[in-house]
Structure 1
Amino acid sequence: MNMILKGLCGLWLAGLFCVSPVKADPKSAEPPHEDSGFFILPDGVDALNMRLTLIREAKRSLDVQYYIWHQDKSGRLILSALLDAAERGVKVRLLLDDMNLAKDRDLFRDLDRHPQVEIRLFNPLKYDGKGLSKIARTVELMVDFKDKNRRMHNKMLLADESMAVMGGRNIGDEYFDLAVDKSFRDLDIYTEGPISRKLTATFESYWKNENSVPFFQEDIKVAESSAHAKEWTNLRHDLGLDRSQNPGDFLAQSKKPSALLDIQKQLIWAPADSLADSPEIFNGDAEGVEDQLKDWPEPQKSLLIESAYFIPTHALLKQFQGFLSRSVHIEVLTNSLQSNDVLMAHAGYMGKREDILKMGIVLFEWRHDLNKSSGGKSANPYGSQAGLHSKAFVIDEEYVFIGSVNLDGRSIHLNTESGLMVHSRDLAAHVTDYIKDGMNPKTSWAISLACPKSPCAEDEKIVLWKGQKDGREVIYEDEPEEGFWLRTTAKFLSHMPFKSVL
């Protein structure tokens, strides 16, 4: 019977969640055996401060894995902190996906010369994207679409194999509420405890994978490092990463205590698991996040989702329909056309939006023109526009997932992903509050189907956007506050036949 149940479980969410017959009691306060500690980071400045704190506290190692790393204020600040750590003897390993690195390869190649720093590129392209090679890089992506579009979307900073920050944020000012023109609403989670063992093992599996390519061969690396060790201060100055770099006034806005001991006193302790695609999925069949989620619960009462890109596959829609038939309440917060930073992703979602609404799923679309970008906590000091970038869901007000996984074909079929699944009503309450705050009528549009006339047939219903503006309820019959040409382009693209890889 158990084998039959497990087989049935594999059908849920195209393998993204499943039933477990055993439920552990969530805990808080003092850590029981094998429970880990958690602390959510919805605020961008807090999330940056947490990363800098872990880097400062590291004594032995820093293992860092990211999809995007911009050379802006926050990107250079974190690099400078990593070099400070390296110069006090901490071993720094940095694994970066090559898709968005392009012209910054030279900087990271220079950083790789430090004797305590090693940098690898995941699934690198042949061309670096500088000058005319930018065209060659684009052609390479088009010609070798299947392999070169499979990217490492994981995001993690792990200190001393014992403390980590994971979640949706890449490294860049827009993820930490520091960008002048835009910022992202996003969500990270700090963790420590036994779960760190699995985080360490996962990083090692990526680091040693054949798709992780070093800048230098080992023998050349030693020679390069030795040659430049005495000149490192000058080289660091030339790179604009002087030791004098400091967080500046913007970190004074952080609402979370900067001392790690103070943070540790506020941890929620609970059973959890670290989930990650095996890097071997690029080379054939291997275990992915969808397989690991089979040991976690299928919703019985409610499913609350926040996903930057929400383009459910046919199998996922079928599973949602099954939940709805059992009276499971499903609510989803995703981007609007105005807030979405990827037009193709919104087009893919548009093509399925009416079907999603007809099923009975409650939809909300995040608004762009806000003064808050981090879950309603602190105002963005630089910009006023905010897109949604979080990836989280809550099952039955009891189980929480926070990570890099969007509910779209790209996350399921192309990219590697990672995240944490935690069994804790306390943590679930915090994440529920975060998502629900984003769904309120001042921050999002409530989406519905309505008849333009009465009576009307089902296929005559139109999509409505309802929210509040300047203290008044407003209703739109088309994508709110966007121009004719962008709406028309998105509608045209929504009919294109490539939603499975968006």
Structure 2
Amino acid sequence: MTLLAVQVLMWIVVGAAATGFASWLAHRSYRRFLRKSRGPVSKSLGRGDVPTKLDTLIDPLEAQFPCQSGLATLLDNADAFAARALSAAQAGRSLDLMYYIWRTDVTGWLLLDALVAAADRGVRVRLLLDDVNVQGFDPAFLALTQHPQIEVRLFNPTRNRGHVVRRTFEMLLGLARFNRRMHGKLWIADGRLAIIGGRNIADTYFATLDADTRNSVDADMLLVGPKVDAVAALFDSYWNLGLSMPILALWPGFKLNRTAFRHRLARHVGSAPSRHYLARTLDSRTPEAVLAGRLHWTDKVQLLADPPDKAYGNHSAAWMSTAIADILTNAQSEVRLITPYFVPGQAGISGLTALAARGVKISLLTNALAATDMLLVYGAYRRYRGALLAAGGSIHEFSPLPKNGRKRDMLHSKVFVIDGRQAIVGSLNFDLRSAFTNTELGLLFEHPTLVADITGMIDALSAPDQAYTVSRPDHALQWTVARPGLPKLMYVEPEASKLQRAISWLVGLLPIQAYL
């Protein structure tokens, strides 16, 4: 070995050691910060002496169906907004909310206004947001948490705010920690009603019809009854985790003019887009119709959720991905799944092909290259579609025609249907990040009408005018297309650019699936 090579090797070793030591110091400092700055423990509020509007709405139904839970599908984006807005308006005790993304756009401001209005009535509001998507939006949430009835906490936050260079170094030195995100979506009103599913809070999930906003096709479940207690306890476990930090702990001494914030909030809520959206989504909907009128009652409901300490990297048999794997293993005839991102890893694809080998019909609906918002993830998905098709599975790639000059809709639902009898709706994508890194939650349930709703959604989204059919005759992939101006059969991803195809092909060669 030459002297130059020895010197280069020494510098590499020294650099690696220095980086490791710096990472250790950063981790130690961060843990001290967490212990010193964490907020007080708090619990979900139990029922008080005076019933709230939600209590009055739900009590007669629960009396009619004792020991059962009421469920309704929220498949329409406008209905999903209405359920959240109306439940906030009816709440009289508490609102406990947990979200991966909360944008300050039209619907984001409208729902923030609903929280402030509830807090003004004396409702306690706890809002837990994953930190990775709050950066840049801190002032709105800092103002919100200064209301005496509202507390905002951030999950697994970076300490450095408003300084890109310092924040970047913190992220790099703590990459393993920073990579673990709270991906679940949860809305609880008065401890009596919960909304669980795939929707974050942003215009794309609530059909604002803004030409600059893509419509995301998604699915939530509305839940009332005794199972809400388990959902509330899960929220408490995340809220009181040492990684959930009061937002003010990250901005010590921060003060914002609350009057100015109220004016800003009123300006957004009173804007023409906000007024038009509210008129379209709420004017014809009542709390009785949206929150109670479509409920179906069953005793076969189970909360599936990752424990919050998954964010520490603590492996557990209680992980949601493990529970779903067990459920799928017991499938007898059919598994249908919707996932916007399909990166199952070797264990996941082996499990699906083993099911197919014993006669279980496997069908996948995911985003096409022309529709996906995650080009890199599509590249990773390329590695697995051939194996699924070779095993006899079917694949549809969602890519509807753009409507009225808007951007093409995309798929964001996370849904499983097993044997036409059970369904799972939640936040878990069929990918390695959801399985091993992020925290997820969802509902497993059985009810013929509810499962039929989900199955009907899958059928509609897989129709020829909405999706391509991918097949593999003679070991070559082909897409069956029903689009004006396009061939009925194509041998490259339809309606995608050459650059998109090239990038996705290149990503498919890289061993980075676990990080996508």
TM-score normalized with structure 1 length: 0.83
Residues 353 and 388 in structure 2, CA contact (< 8 A), matched pair in contact too = no
Identify the match of residue 286 of structure 2 among 259, 283, 293.
Answer: 259
Please name the residue that 2:18 is paired with. Answer: none
Q: 2:410 aligns with which of 387, 390, 393?
A: 387
SS in 2 for 1:216: helix
Matched, 1:289 2:315: no
How has the CA–CA distance of structure 1 residues 489 and 111 changed in structure 2, closer, same or farther, with 3 Å as cutoff? same
Partner residue of 1:479 out of 493, 509, 515:
493
Q: Which residue of 2 aligns with 1:303?
A: 335
Alignment counterpart, residue 82 of structure 1, candidates 115, 119, 128:
115
Q: 1:501 Cα deviation (Å)?
A: 2.8
Preserved CA contact (<8 Å) 1:31 1:269: no
Residues 162 and 249 of structure 1: CA distance in aligned 2, closer, same or farther (over 3 Å)? same
Q: Distance in 1 between matches of 2:369 and 2:185?
A: 25
2:477 corresponds in structure 1 to 463
What amino acid is aligned across from residue 332 of structure 1 in structure 2? Answer: L
For 2:470 and 2:129, the matched residues in 1 are separated by 37
Deviations 1:475-496 (A, max 9, x none): 2110111111221111011110
Q: What is the CA–CA distance in structure 1 between the aligned matches of 2:509 and 2:486, rounded to whole Å? A: 34
Q: Does 1:175 align with 2:205?
A: yes
Q: Which consecutive aligned stretches of 4+ in structure 1 deviate over 6 angstroms post-superposition?
A: none
Distance 1:291 1:35 in 2: 26
The secondary structure found in structure 2 opposite 1:37 is: strand
Alignment root-mean-square deviation, CA: 2.7
Alignment of 1:190-201 (within 5 A): 190-201=222-233
Contact 2:349 2:384 in 1 (8 A): no
Q: Does 1:236 align with 2:262?
A: yes
Cα distance in 1 for partners of 2:436, 2:472 equals 31
SS at match of 1:103: coil
Q: Cα 1:48–1:146, aligned 2, differ >3 Å: closer, same or farther?
A: same
1:137-183 deviation per Cα after TM superposition (whole angstroms, max 9, x unaligned) = 34433442211010000101110011111111111111111242311
Equivalent in 203, 207, 210 of residue 239 of structure 2: 207
Among 126, 129, 146, the residue aligned to 2:176: 146
**CA, structure 1 residues 30+464, in 2 after alignment: closer, same or farther (shift >3 Å)?**
farther
Larger CA deviation: 204-213 vs 36-45: 36-45
Q: How many residues align?
A: 448
- CA distance in structure 1 between the partners assigned to 2:342 and 2:63 by the alignment: 37
Gaps of at least 5 residues in structure 1 are 1-27, 372-380, 452-460
What corresponds to 2:275 in structure 1? 248
Instruction: Give the stretch that moved more between structures: 409-418 or 44-53.
Output: 44-53
Residue 196 of structure 1: how far off its partner (Å): 0.6
1:49 aligns with 2:82: yes
Structure number with higher relative contact order (C-alpha < 8 Å, ≥ 6 residues apart):
1
Tell me if structure 2 keeps the 8 A contact 1:357–1:448: yes
Q: CA–CA distance in 1 between the matches of 2:120 and 2:271?
A: 15
Q: Which amino acid aligns with 2:463?
A: N
Do the aligned partners of 2:357 and 2:391 also contact (CA within 8 Å) in 1?
A: no
Secondary structure of residue in 2 paired with 1:320:
helix
Q: Distance in 2 between matches of 1:188 and 1:382?
A: 27
Q: Give the counterpart letter for 1:282 in structure 2.
A: A
**How far apart in 1 are the matches of 2:267 and 2:175?**
36
TM-aligned CA deviation for residue 277 of structure 1: 0.7
Provide the residue aligned with 1:9 in structure 2. none
CA distance in 2, matches of 1:79, 1:29: 30
* 1:415 corresponds to: 438
State the shift of 1:256 in Å: 11
SS at match of 1:55: helix
The reply on whether 1:137 has 2:167 as its aligned counterpart is: yes
* SS of the residue 1:469 aligns to: coil
Which residues of structure 2 form unaligned runs of 5+? 1-60
Look up the match of 2:502: 488
Task: Evaluate the alpha carbon distance shift between residue 255 and residue 115 of structure 1 in structure 2; reply closer, same or farther with a 3 A threshold.
Answer: closer
Q: Quick check: which has more Rg, 1 or 2?
A: 2
Q: Greater helix share, 1 or 2?
A: 2
What SS does the corresponding residue of 2:415 show, helix, strand or coil? strand
1:10 match: none
- The amino acid of 1:465's aligned partner reads W
Matched, 1:280 2:280: no
Q: 2 CA distance for matches of 1:358 and 1:33?
A: 48
User: Percent identity over the alignment?
Assistant: 32
SS at the partner of 2:343?
A: coil
The aligned amino acid for 1:389 is: H
Distance between the aligned counterparts of 2:246 and 2:78, measured in 1? 32
2:144 pairs, out of 111, 114, 117, with 111
CA gap 1:177/1:139 in 2 versus in 1, 3 angstroms: farther
What amino acid does structure 2 have at the position aligned with 1:288? W
